[in-house]
């Protein structure tokens, strides 16, 4: 699977393998090898069985690649994060990005981006990317795209917001991954 490494002074980073950008994004966001192909395939199967209780859900699964090479959809990523006690909030692009996304927010684990990518000049598919602030420091925000050879540290917060605005401009999506509020609701 994707090459992973954590070098001194840099965050954990898994490199792209086949269409497993969803798996790499989750692991890069959580800064450890939390999810394997098997775990995500099981989540995809569980989701498919909720809709189709026949044998077809084992072979034709709308939540992952038919060929078994990843390409997990948002339902798999959301369920995987929920299993880790996290929640996903979709960014409403009508809001001001700098107000809605605060990297100093202690509940913010990081961002997942879903960006359009043209393949072989023929079709557009989507690619998952993790953006993470290390220790909630605005001076330590990284692009953990699995297609990069190593994590790229943003120069400053302005550069991060400029990058996020470009994702929205290209019809991409931004998802905020936060610690679950369920514990707070009980109190």
Residue whose C-alpha is closest to residue 146's, from 34, 19, 38, 37: 19
Give me the helices (H) in 84-171, please.
97-100, 157-169
**Nearest by Cα to 29 from 164, 142, 153, 125:** 142
Q: Clarify whether 145 is annotated catalytic.
A: yes
**Burial class of residue 75 (count of CB atoms within 10 Å of its CB; 0-12, 13-18, 19+):** middle
Buried-exposed string 156-185: b where 16+ CB fall within 10 A, e elsewhere: ebeebbebbeebeeeebbbbbbbbeeeeee
| Per-residue DSSP letter, 151 | -
- Among 13, 21, 24, 41, the one annotated catalytic: 21
13, 32, 145, 185: the catalytic one is 145
Is 32 assigned a catalytic role? no
Active-site annotation holder among 13, 24, 63, 127: 127
21 is catalytic: yes
CA 37 to chain centre: 15
Phi/psi at 143 (5° precision): -90, 115
List residues with catalytic annotation.
21, 127, 145
């Amino acid at each position: 699977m994707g090459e992973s490494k954590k070098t001194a002074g840099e965050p954990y980073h898994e490199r792209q393998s086949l269409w497993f950008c969803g798996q790499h994004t989750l692991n890069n966001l959580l800064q450890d090898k939390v999810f394997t192909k098997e775990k995500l395939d099981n989540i995809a199967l569980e989701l498919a069985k909720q809709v189709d209780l026949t044998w077809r859900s084992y072979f034709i699964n709308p939540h992952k690649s038919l060929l078994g090479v990843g390409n997990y959809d948002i339902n798999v990523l959301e369920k995987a994060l929920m299993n880790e006690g996290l929640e996903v909030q979709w960014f409403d692009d009508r809001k001001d990005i700098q107000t809605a996304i605060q990297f100093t927010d202690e509940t913010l684990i990081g961002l997942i981006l879903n960006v359009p990518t043209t393949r072989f000049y023929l079709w557009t598919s989507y690619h998952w990317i993790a953006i993470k602030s290390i220790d909630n420091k605005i001076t330590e925000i990284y692009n953990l795209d699995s297609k990069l050879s190593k994590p790229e540290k943003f120069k400053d917060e302005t550069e991060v917001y400029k990058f996020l605005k470009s994702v929205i401009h290209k019809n991409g999506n931004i998802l905020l991954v936060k610690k679950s509020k369920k514990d707070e609701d009980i109190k």
